[in-house]
A and B are shown apart, each in its own frame.
Chain A
Amino acid sequence: MARVGVFICWCGSNIAKTVDVEKVAEAAAALPGVAYSTNYKYMCSEPGQNLVKQAIAEHKLSSIVVASCSPRLHEPTFRRCISEAGLNPFMLEMANIREHCSWVHDDNDAATKKAIDLVAMAVAKVAKNEPLSSQAIPITKKALVIGGGVSGIQTALDIADAGYKVTLVERTPSIGGRMAQYDKTFPTLDCAACILTPKMVDAASNPNIEILSYSEVENVSGFVGNFDVTIRKRARSVDMSKCTGCGACYEKCPKKVSSEFDCGLGQRKAIYVPFPQAVPNVPVIDREVCRWFAEGKCKVCEKICPTGAIDYSQEDEVITEQFGAIVAATGFDTWDPQEYGNLGYGKYPDVITSLQFERLFNASGPTDGKLLRPSDNQPPKNVVFISCIGSRDDEHGYPYCSKVCCMYNAKHALLLKEKVSDAQAYVFYMDIRANGKGYEEFVRRAMEKYGAVYLRGRVSRIIQEGDKLIVRGADTLAGKPVEIEADMVVLAAAMKPQPDAKEMARKLGISTDEYNWFSEAHPKLRPVEVLTAGVYLAGVCQYPKDIPDSVAQASGAASKVIGLFSKPNLESEPTVAEVNETTCAGCLLCKEICPFSAIEPKLLTDRAGNPVKTVASVNQGLCHGCGTCVAGCRSASVQLKGFKDDQLLAEVDALAFME
């Protein structure tokens, strides 16, 4: 028979001001099985814990109920406490009389009664608790980083520097991501390529980093410490071991298509590297457009290649590897401003997005760094920048702020003046959000030293008149309409999640918010973790961020991975499922529905070795104790240790039959 000790915590006044703790302790003392009951001001404090330990020894307690805060907060504390006093840590139940009671009620009598109910339920359950123990699970000390932008690269470099292996998967032909498309970066105006490409090269040459470009994660199974990940290495049609990156193939390739990297402003060949500093510097053949694949003739690249690296017969390769941790650094997409019909994007060639503007600035861009209008290749004089295109717009776009647009608008306004000395920048804005190191100063500099005209207001319409764009809007500070005759209009399109973000989240078993950004475990205290152990976030896949924030989070994610890998083993949760082999009918629905592939069929034999029946069997190392199998089992033959039917029913009965 269990000897239960009940410890009622005041939590200072958090509980005691609403719940009559004395009365709860008294009521608990009268419950069946309770050998000792008391209350104390701070049960989690050292004297409080000592009180528990002493009572265990003095009253020979076998099971403990602590009625205090959420088990989320102090269950580990009290498990440790009672195990120091010689009890199995799972002989503990927490009755949450703070979050579930004192904090949410103001009627003291009713709250006290509810607290007594909660304690009675915990007493009924703890009396049926069994000692549980955990197992050591080995960790595969190799990390997978999904996404080869600056966040992914930084994560990979930091993990590799700590001495662990990293595989960096990037779905485009080269790592570099969005940052590789940018010209200069705010607020210091470093050239993006000058600070990014050395990191790309570092990643490529680091012996601990394996880069799988032109590859995609297809499936993820397993769990923290041991994920099984299936990766599709798409056929490059170029043998990476033979290619020297000489570029002769794409020089001679006769087929030109619009370049994704240049946001449609320039052209690339059917065989191409997205940009000159690509890593790996090995081209791919775009089979959709390549003449050989489309029409069955050409093969110019094969003829010209000095090393015979072209291989039209290459096929996708699907590999499965084990990883101990996964970092999602999958980045973002940009909103399509065509949704705003009044701005003429997609209709007027000189209305472009900020990302296109970056490409027009970039020395390796379609205009070799000369700022020229797409319509007539002339340098623009008057350029209008419009903020919040799709951001902060409940109706057409997203209600959130894309966070970086204010800063790059200022950057563009400033760089415009540097490139075209007689140019004039106009910036339409809703608010200027420049809260970062050196950011406010930077915006001021664009206004004051570079003469950018900031107009607080929205643009209502853009129309083309001759070779001019007439921009009509409002200056709400001056309280009057404005009309600007512009040569070019640049739209700061919102950042939005990757179109397949939801699908990726499903593969990783992580959740997304209402927009499909990946959800962190806690918005303040666990910003790089997700609720799935062993998966971490870096960069914009979580929420719009600028480069400094992305890199900081990348290093944060890396440190979490390094922390995980620095342990010799993982300790398994002992609260896992177990199968009653006598009643199990072997339908194996549990195997189908287990999210962790922890259930396998097991053949039972008699003593002579003849098969008797097949039952389900739980791999305790893989089981997470989620309880899906328990809910799925029709004959209640799977039970979750620590949450068995009789334990839970005892709890329910305690409440149902309460006087």
Chain B
Amino acid sequence: MSMEQELREKAKELLSSGKVKVVIGYGEGSIPIKSTPIFVKTPEQADCLVLNPTCTNNLTVYLPQAVKSGPVAVVAKPCEVKNIVELVKENQIKREDVTVIAVSTPGILNDAALAEFDLLDVKKISWKADGVAVTTSQGDTVIPRDAAFQKKCLSCTAAQPAIADIKIGDWAERAPLQDKFADVEEYEKLSAEEKRAFWAGQFSKCIRCYACRQACPGCYCNECFVDKNGQIWASKDTGAESNWFFHMTRMMHTAGRCTGCGECERACPMGIPLSLMGKKMSLLVKELFGTQPGESMEDAPVFGCYQTNDPDPCPE
């Protein structure tokens, strides 16, 4: 049975038994290069669920709202299970309200991999043993893994998730194709001035659409600091300085909570490498406190606990 078939069966069981009211998963998009999030409410609709290399959105972002209408099942990749862990620990959802369908896939397609293709001519995108097959009117083209997958997938080890109710796919631990923090290492070679110039260039592109924030499962505040009217901390203009302030503040707010799902960067229409900031922060947290967000239900939040052996260095 294919992973997709297995997912549909499980979804049907969950819905017909009444264990959940809705299964959040992926359905076919308007064209085959994209899947779209769908909310499956009946066992019949479960056949709409798909699982293929284009299933990219982090569906956990919907959970805090979705659980208000009853128990929910959600399709989550290993990186996204970590978001659920964080949401439970941060009291946004109750563990018992969420059935976690953890799916270990070979990897998710990165948009750039399709650059050479006529997107409207793409008929199907599917996993093959050595990468991703793109089917067009010309036939199948196989893109090798390191070119096909998102960076986060290349460094994924498919480590056992901290929580999972149903597991689908190959959960045998795998050797990552790339180090998770490889691009941070590359970035660290820049001097302070170069780093500043780099980000000044990046942030000058930002149009403050807040897609990064909306896509982020950690950004669930009812009112973001940047939307406040009474106490105006952050200017709403799109000058590079104001954008800088917004992004740095948002990054500080996700420090120790960012699981590296990469949704902010994927959602950004201006191509700002936001997950690089997230990873840099993640690396700092890992080096200083030895923990990584979402990897255990027991770890206290990094910014919410104090241990006598906590390091106290001055970050550069």
Q: List residues of A whose CB falls within 8 A of some B CB.
A: 502-503, 506, 582-589, 592-593, 601, 614, 632, 634-637, 644-646, 649
Contacts and interface: CB of A to CB of B under 8 A. Distances in A.
Given A587-B90, A649-B231, A506 B308 contact: yes
Interface stretch (B131-139, B150-158, B289-297, B299-307): B299-307
Given A589-B301, A592-B305, A632-B303, A583 B222 contact: yes
Given A636-B228, A645-B233, A585 B92 contact: yes
A502 B308 CA distance: 9
Contacts of B193: none
A588 B90 contact: yes
A608 to B, nearest CB: 16
B91 A635 contact: no
Nearest to B219: A634
Contacts of B220: 585, 587
Given A506-B308, A646-B231, A649-B232, A583 B90 contact: no
Given A636-B228, A636-B231, A645-B231, A588 B221 contact: no
Question: Which one of A585, A587, A588 has the greatest number of beta carbons of chain B within 10 Å?
Answer: A587
A39 to B, nearest CB: 34
Interface in B86-143: 90-92
B225 interface: yes
The 3 closest A-B pairs by CB, nearest first: A592-B304, A645-B231, A635-B221
Contacts of A645: 230-231, 233
A585 B232 contact: no
Contacts of B92: 585-587
A511 to B, nearest CB: 14
A635 B222 contact: yes
B150 to A, nearest CB: 27
Given A636-B228, A645-B233, 17 more contacts: A506-B308, A582-B222, A582-B223, A583-B221, A585-B220, A585-B221, A585-B222, A586-B91, A592-B304, A593-B304, A634-B221, A634-B225, A637-B223, A645-B230, A645-B231, A646-B231, A649-B233
A644 B90 CA distance: 25
A584 B91 contact: no
Contacts of B223: 582-583, 635, 637
Interface residues of B, number: 21
Nearest to A580: B223
B87 to A, nearest CB: 9
B195 interface: no
B224 interface: yes
B253 interface: yes
B225 A636 contact: yes
8 contacts: A506-B308, A585-B220, A587-B90, A589-B303, A589-B304, A601-B91, A632-B303, A636-B225
Contacts of A593: 303-304
Contacts of B303: 589, 593, 632
A585 B224 CA distance: 10
Interface in B74-91: 90-91
Q: Is the interface of B mostly helix, strand, loop or mixed?
A: loop
B164 to A, nearest CB: 23
Given A646-B231, A649-B232, A584 B304 contact: no
A503 B308 contact: yes
A649 B228 CA distance: 13
Nearest to B221: A635
A72 B228 CA distance: 34
Contacts of B253: 634
Nearest to B249: A634
Contacts of A637: 223
Nearest to A601: B91
A637 B308 CA distance: 29
B121 to A, nearest CB: 45
Contacts of A503: 308
A635 B91 CA distance: 15
Nearest to B87: A587
Contacts of A646: 230-231
Contacts of A585: 92, 220-222
Nearest to A648: B231
A587 B219 CA distance: 11
A636 B222 contact: no
A592 B304 CA distance: 5
A592 B300 contact: yes
Contacts of B301: 589, 592
A445 to B, nearest CB: 48
A644 B230 CA distance: 11
A646 B233 CA distance: 10
A645 to B, nearest CB: 4
B251 to A, nearest CB: 12
Contacts of A592: 300-301, 304-305
A635 B250 CA distance: 11
Contacts of B231: 636, 644-646, 649
Interface in B214-259: 220-225, 228, 230-233, 253
A584 B91 CA distance: 12
Nearest to A612: B68
B91 to A, nearest CB: 5
Contacts of A587: 90-92, 220
Contacts of A582: 222-223
B220 to A, nearest CB: 6
Contacts of B224: 635
Question: Which one of B90, B301, B304 has the greatest number of beta carbons of chain A within 10 Å?
Answer: B304
A397 B66 CA distance: 63
Given A593-B303, A636-B233, A649-B232, A584 B90 contact: no
Contacts of B305: 592
Contacts of A588: 90-91
B222 A584 contact: yes
Contacts of A636: 225, 228, 231, 233
A635 B308 contact: no
A498 to B, nearest CB: 15
Nearest to A644: B231
Question: Which one of A593, A636, A637 has the greatest number of beta carbons of chain B within 10 Å?
Answer: A636
A532 to B, nearest CB: 16
Nearest to B308: A506
Nearest to B300: A592
B250 to A, nearest CB: 9
B223 to A, nearest CB: 4
A649 B233 CA distance: 8
A644 B224 CA distance: 17
B228 to A, nearest CB: 7
Contacts of A589: 90, 301, 303-304
Contacts of A502: 308
Nearest to A587: B90
Contacts of A584: 222
Contact of A635 (B90, B225, B304): B225
A634 B231 CA distance: 13
A614 B220 CA distance: 14
Contacts of B304: 589, 592-593, 632
Contacts of B300: 592
A645 B232 CA distance: 9
Nearest to B305: A592
Contacts of B222: 582-585, 635
Interface string B177-199: 00000000000000000000000
B67 to A, nearest CB: 12
A582 B228 CA distance: 13
Nearest to A588: B91
